[in-house]
Amino acid sequence: MPTILIIGAGKSSTYLIQYLLDTLQPKSRKLLLADLNLETAREKLAGYADAEAVALDLQDASARKQLIQRADVVISMLPAAMHPLVAKDCLAFGRHFFTASYESAEMREWKSTIEEKKLFWLNEMGLDPGLDHLSAMKIIDEARAEGNEIIGFKSFCGGLICPESPQNPWKYKFTWNPRNVVLAGQGTSRFIRNGRLKYVPYHMLFRRTEPVHIPGAGDFEAYPNRDSLSYRKVYGLENIPTLLRGTLRNKGFCRSWDFFVQLGMTDDSFIMDLPEDFTYRQFTNTFLPFHATKTVEEKILELLPFADEALLEQVRWLGLLAHTPMKQRKGSPAMLLQGVLEEKWALGLDDKDMIVMQHQFILQRPDGTRLERLSNLVVKGETQERTAMAKTVGLPLAIAVDLFLDGKIPLIGLHIPVQKEIYLPVLEKIAQAGITFQETTRLLEPAAP
């Protein structure tokens, strides 16, 4: 009886757990669900036969190793930094390993050992990375089979709030890890456009956006992800003149978020230890120049050329101009800002989230004519617990594990889902689960001479 071990029973695991639970009885499998909180794990299993909840402190090496030895396949739903701890044990004990996170440099160093042990390790099998790989590679392979050259590829993805859900002045709420949102884009973004390398430093990132329209979802703006260039090799597009990957936000969000970037409130490099009774208004003022008579609002309008009354209203709604004592006074600026945003941008009981993704391909036929091929994905959440984010992260991973155990992914070694043996059967299965990409193709007008 094959045994599946899932480590991590948080909200993002909801669909993953349910999908695999439904395979246990018909496919004679057993499932172990481990979490630091035993009650959380028990609730997710809901009395299923052949499923067992286990309390696990990941730092307890003995308990962790014993648990991994009980499994045939291990799925890590932990934060990315914790994957290597689990992966090392899987390598030592010869266990297959799956995650939705980026393939780490450390795992790539183990590639030959993974192959020697005839193990199948699959990373980047969630939403982004994950569904983006599946859908992009399908089009890339089809275009090549048709004899077309791919001369442009842009890919965008975002986790947002459904337009029909209650809104706030920012038109944004957390649907994923808040810390990742606050720190998004730090460093320098790089991509290639029309054969020219482009680099966007962090302080300019949220000013370098481009519009994106997704049918059935609306109009958005996209800012570049940190590193698009590495995907030239991943997708076999080493000579492509235009390649850009970006993150989608509702129109106007990036301009407002730039307020925090320009003031330095997303800085995570130093710790602030503020006095007792320090107010949110004083916190905001710490990032502004001193002036004997000007108000905080006046200094913001004077310092930031893009600031206006609408932006001040957004900042005011967050409570950052209030004379209220801060609940948290020690931490990096990013940590203190995150505390404010988590309270104001939390999903409410009536909220539903939304995942939007778009691939934009420019294809050149052998006769020189050009095509634009678009692939759009829109997924809306059902409830605060059954979110679109959890669905699009968990289902691709669950389906890949199911297919592998059924012998339908005949691979060994270290992989991400860019081979047909992975993406074709997974795309077929996720479509049955309601995650479908809508593709359109149109002929582009010839460029002016």
Residue with tokens 């679109």: 388
Judge contact between 149 and 361, C-beta under 8 A: no
Q: What percent of the chain has pLDDT over 70?
A: 99
Percent helix / strand / coil, the chain, rounded to 5: 35, 25, 40
Mean pLDDT of the chain: 95
Judge contact between 283 and 326, C-beta under 8 A: yes
35-55: pLDDT as tens digits: 999 999 999 998 798 999 999
Fold of the CATH domain 3-123 = Rossmann fold (3.40.50)
Among 94, 90, 62, 74, CA closest to 34: 74
Taking residues 276-288, report their average pLDDT.
97
- Coil/strand/helix, residue 49: coil
Judge contact between 103 and 83, C-beta under 8 A: no
Helix ranges (H only) for 57-214 are 61-69, 83-93, 105-109, 111-116, 131-145, 178-182, 202-205
Pick the CATH number of 131-255+349-386+436-443 from 3.90.1150.10, 3.30.360.10, 3.90.480.20, 3.40.50.1970: 3.30.360.10
Q: Mark 328-350 as b/e (b = at least 16 C-beta within 10 Å).
A: ebebbbbbbbbbbbeebbebeee
* pLDDT (0 to 100) of residue 447: 61
Among 159, 73, 170, 63, CA closest to 121: 73
The token duo for 135 is 């859908």
User: Angle, nearest 10°, between helix axes 309-317 and 253-263?
Assistant: 80
* pLDDT (0 to 100) of residue 275: 96
Residue 448 has pLDDT above 80, yes or no: no
* Comma-separated ranges of CATH 3.30.360.10 domains in the chain: 131-255+349-386+436-443
In sign, the C-alpha dihedral spanning 158, 129, 396, 421 is positive
Strand pairing of 370-380 and 353-364?
antiparallel
* pLDDT (0 to 100) of residue 100: 95
Judge contact between 263 and 287, C-beta under 8 A: yes
Judge contact between 30 and 50, C-beta under 8 A: yes
Helix ranges (H only) for 252-387 are 253-263, 280-285, 296-303, 309-317, 333-344
Q: How far apart are CA 441 and CA 208, in angstroms?
A: 27
* Comma-separated ranges of CATH 3.40.50.720 domains in the chain: 3-123
* pLDDT (0 to 100) of residue 197: 96
* pLDDT (0 to 100) of residue 167: 84
Taking residues 4-22, report their average pLDDT.
94
Q: How far apart are CA 210 and CA 224, in angstroms?
A: 9
Helix ranges (H only) for 157-238 are 178-182, 202-205, 231-234
Residue 121 has pLDDT above 70, yes or no: yes
Q: How far apart are CA 423 and CA 96, in angstroms?
A: 18
pTM across the whole model: 0.92
Q: How far apart are CA 8 and CA 24, in angstroms?
A: 19
Q: How far apart are CA 118 and CA 96, in angstroms?
A: 9
Q: How far apart are CA 120 and CA 413, in angstroms?
A: 5
How many angstroms separate the Cα of 200 from the Cα of each of 186, 227, 272, 306?
10, 10, 28, 19
Q: Which residues contact 249 (CB under 8 A, 6 or more apart)?
A: 158, 160, 172, 220, 221, 222, 223, 257
Q: How far apart are CA 279 and CA 269, in angstroms?
A: 22
* pLDDT (0 to 100) of residue 389: 94
Q: How far apart are CA 377 and CA 157, in angstroms?
A: 9
Taking residues 182-204, report their average pLDDT.
95
* pLDDT (0 to 100) of residue 60: 93
